[in-house]
Structure 1
């Protein structure tokens, strides 16, 4: 599959089937609709749990950002685990948490990366500790805030590690998903300010260097649910994650509300500002060896998803309330991707133009459709539950414009010439595995390069 010539700007268009929202509705209708719609923050995921008691860290640090951002100062926590034979921090590897809603769960993050990944019950973090690497898990009090704000927390963590380290072994710094972007920006900003970060290796784990993907129709559905079922005071709404600063900065395509019509690539000013800030600090840090792994394949083999095909149909109250959801079509003009209704309050159809077929692309997957279908109580085929979240071409930081995406999502990365990536070296999984999942292919590659 090849790219369409981008003769038109990637955009979404919403056709209103009701001329205006009704000022009144039948008695009790709003309550009926609210009872049918999903509850809780959409797209937020829960950490995996091993069922074993959480490992107790050897140290815990309370961190405050090295700089304020937009008038606020971010904060976070680090959990430190000493490597074999160490009674003090000696060979630090700072590994930052990724994109999600609310505060980091460092115990859950530990469990996730220390789950057995092979029949021999090998565990990545245990192997790193056994090799004498001290693991510093970096968490954020508000994961969904601006990347630049949490990058300041990462800078404070790097400074703390340097101050507490015995000896002069260089640092390893990186993170999973958004954590890779947070630490990328932190290291580059320190270099631009002339500060020695004493970092020899940077490592990103399925990080969306050029953007991530959540289907546009599902973003609209989150707003749709949010608008019709306002949250209780003090509680987050269904759309709080998708409209958060971090989501606006991470996603290649973003919409601001159910009825939004207009450009989607870098539609949020926050993404444009973040990309400009990255360019101002030289895009990537230059001093460390830059490594990255992708949960997607390198071969250009995607998932079994046909662009534009139906994914699920939700219908309640005799069809008056519901949603139609299709897989993202491949480019074209005014391609139908779904719609939603809550008659007489709302009814609409959604079309996209020149949007690439991200759903089936090679990449780390997220159960985007599955999570929403489950909340709505509708059946969905297994092959549609999880679709691309971080395209392989993004996770390996292939060199291309992150706004226009003049790149084939199905590029065979194994044939790319040297220098095609902003990383010095990268490795992809043998299949399109779950975003951030530890697999033997990825774990072996990481251990060979940073542990032994």
Structure 2
């Protein structure tokens, strides 16, 4: 018997008001939308000022995608004793909304990761590696648009470099996909990227995950807010080209019923373009780190368990219920929303229990709970964002996803991954965070 496809089904009910809803009450409910957009990468926790770059370059892509020329900025931090670029590392920013915050990116990767106060970027500078942080004017744009910015950055670095030391090129989260695409496109076009080493940091090579019920909530509650011109709403990141290309499962509104794996044509197109480019650049050594574990041990979340069940004004005006993603099954409940006269409930069929998978985590449930005024236990705030099997670029169909999320990666052979080498963390940690295990491995590989 043919296996059912992964899908979501939504039931919508319109009911009579259970009482008079006053304008102040509705305003208080609409106010929950004022914290958007949801689901971006974490912000640096360091309050102090970031190290100021030696210089910055504005960048404009010479390779448009769909007629769009991407723009960005490179912040150049010269290594100790250097007055020019000598051993460049280009490190691209990741998934979030709006323009990159390169000071924040510096602080995030240079926070102390050990009891001894070691800081990764400081250690790289001390080892003679110049760090070029690559930011984008529109992080939520198409990967291909920002890949053109990455190509411009590589060309500028090569032109400004003293000597002929090869480049290290990569990035964090979607920054790893952007540079992966850029390097592969340059090889196709015969452009010499002069990159000897590619490095991805918890990049979703086979896709990322944001709980479907939370995606729906972003759309649902957005409908009730008073939009401020020029200010993004909480669903704007989810509906962006970047999210559609990044996420394995995606829905385009709170009413959508149908397949969820590569539901967006933008992801299907992106995967096809990557395949046409050979998947990965072939010339560099391909290194990758995963914030998730390698041994298949997940987060210990119970599939289908209720995460929160919020009732506004005792349930008279509204409610929001969310469950951890169930473990496959048919028409498994994942939650629902009620506000005013509209009630929606959702089920999924043949969707894997992504929330508890081994991987880099994001406080997806926590962000929504905070916005809705829900007190949530710390253990329920976090769920998987980039599964380990995705971050290590395990070879499998990224649409049907036939591999188990808890696959033991400790015995993976070279033939089973698109990376030359990879390192997983010894615990499932926050997406993109620097840990001793990952920092020490990266230093051994590139700070020789």
Per the shorter chain, which TM-score range? over 0.9
> Does the Cα contact within 8 Å between 1:6 and 1:354 map onto a contact in 2?
no
Give aligned pairs, total: 446
The aligned runs of 1:289-300 (5 Å cut-off) are 289-300=285-296
- Contact 1:40 1:238 (8 Å CA) reproduced: yes
Match of 2:332 among 328, 332, 335: 335
Question: Residues of 2 paired with 1:156 and 1:6: CA distance?
Answer: 47
Name the counterpart of 2:352: 356
SS at match of 1:192: helix
Larger mean CA deviation between 313-322 and 280-289 belongs to 313-322
> Residue 246 of structure 2 corresponds to which residue in structure 1?
250
The corresponding residue for 1:273 is: 269
Looking at structure 2, the residues matched to 152 and 288 of structure 1 have their Cα atoms a distance apart, in angstroms, of 19
3-state SS of paired residue (1:427)? strand
Farther off after superposition, 221-230 or 361-370: 221-230
Contact 2:110 2:120 in 1 (8 A): yes
Give the Cα–Cα distance (whole angstroms) in 2 for the partners of residues 34 and 152 of structure 1.
Answer: 39
SS of the counterpart of 1:232? coil
Q: Distance in 2 between matches of 1:29 and 1:325?
A: 23
**Could you tell me how far apart the structure 2 residues matched to 1:105 and 1:287 are?**
31
- Answer yes or no: is 1:389 the counterpart of 2:359: no
Is residue 60 of structure 1 aligned with residue 38 of structure 2?
Answer: no
Cα 1:20/1:451, change in 2 over 3 Å: farther
8 Å contact kept, 1:49–1:112: yes
How well do the aligned residues superpose, as a CA RMSD in angstroms? 1.8
* Aligned mate of 2:130, from 120, 129, 134: 134
User: Aligned partners of 1:211, 1:300: CA distance in 2, in Å?
Assistant: 18
- Counterpart-to-counterpart distance in 1, 2:193 and 2:413: 30
Deviations along 1:369-389, whole A, 9 cap, x unmatched? 011101111122221111100
Instruction: Give TM-score, length-normalised by structure 1.
Output: 0.96
165 and 371 in structure 1: CA distance in 2 versus 1, 3 angstrom threshold: same
Give yes or no for contact 2:65–2:144 (8 Å, CA) kept in 1.
yes
**2:88–2:129 contact (8 Å) kept in structure 1:** yes
Residues 194 and 150 (structure 1), Cα distance of their counterparts in 2 relative to 1, 3 Å cut: same
- Is 1:230–1:237's contact at 8 Å kept on the other side of the alignment? no
Q: Is the 8 A contact 1:38 1:376 kept in 2?
A: no
Task: Specify whether residues 37 and 138 from structure 1 end up closer, same or farther in structure 2 by C-alpha distance, changes over 3 A only.
Answer: closer
Q: Does 1:324 align with 2:321?
A: yes
Cα deviations across residues 183-210 of structure 1 (Å, max 9, x unaligned)?
0000000000011100000000000000
* Mapped partners of 1:273, 1:114: distance in 2: 36
| Distance in 2, Cα, partners of 1:53 & 1:317 | 43
Cα pair 1:203 1:290 within 8 Å, conserved: yes
CA contact (8 A) 1:47 1:105 kept: no
Report deviation, 1:33: 3.2
> Does the alignment pair 1:409 with 2:405?
yes
Tell me if structure 2 keeps the 8 A contact 1:43–1:241.
yes
Task: Give the secondary-structure state (helix, strand or coil) at the position aligned to 2:75.
Answer: strand
Supply the distance in 2 between the matched residues of 1:45 and 1:427 (Cα, whole angstroms). 21
> Hey, what's the Cα distance between the residues in 1 that align with 2:28 and 2:44?
34
Relative to structure 1, the CA distance from residue 130 to residue 252 in structure 2 (aligned partners, 3 Å threshold; closer, same or farther) is: same
Task: List runs of 5+ in structure 1 lacking aligned partners.
Answer: none
1:123 paired with 2:114, answer no
Distance 1:52 1:229 in 2: 35
Q: 2:228 aligns with which of 225, 232, 251?
A: 232
| In structure 1, C-alpha distance between the alignment counterparts of 2:374 and 2:22, rounded to whole Å | 26
1:71 to 67, 86, 102: 67
Q: Equivalences for 1:110-259 in 2 at 5 Å?
A: 110-259=106-255
Which residue in 2 is equivalent to 1:425? 421
**Equivalent-residue separation in structure 1 for 2:298 and 2:50 (angstroms):** 36
Distance 2:314 2:307 in 1: 20
1:262 corresponds in structure 2 to 258
In 2, Cα distance between equivalents of 1:352 and 1:6: 18
Contact 1:95–1:173, Cα closer than 8 Å, also in 2: yes
Q: Does 1:103 align with 2:99?
A: yes
Cα deviation code 1:112-144 (max 9, x no counterpart): 100010011111000100010000000000000
82-91 or 38-47, which deviates more: 38-47
4+ residue segments displaced more than 6 Å: 24-29
* TM-score between both structures, scaled by the size of structure 2: 0.96
User: Using the alignment, how far apart are the partners of 1:416 and 1:197 within structure 2?
Assistant: 29
Cα distance change of structure 1 residues 416 and 64 upon mapping to structure 2, 3 Å threshold: same
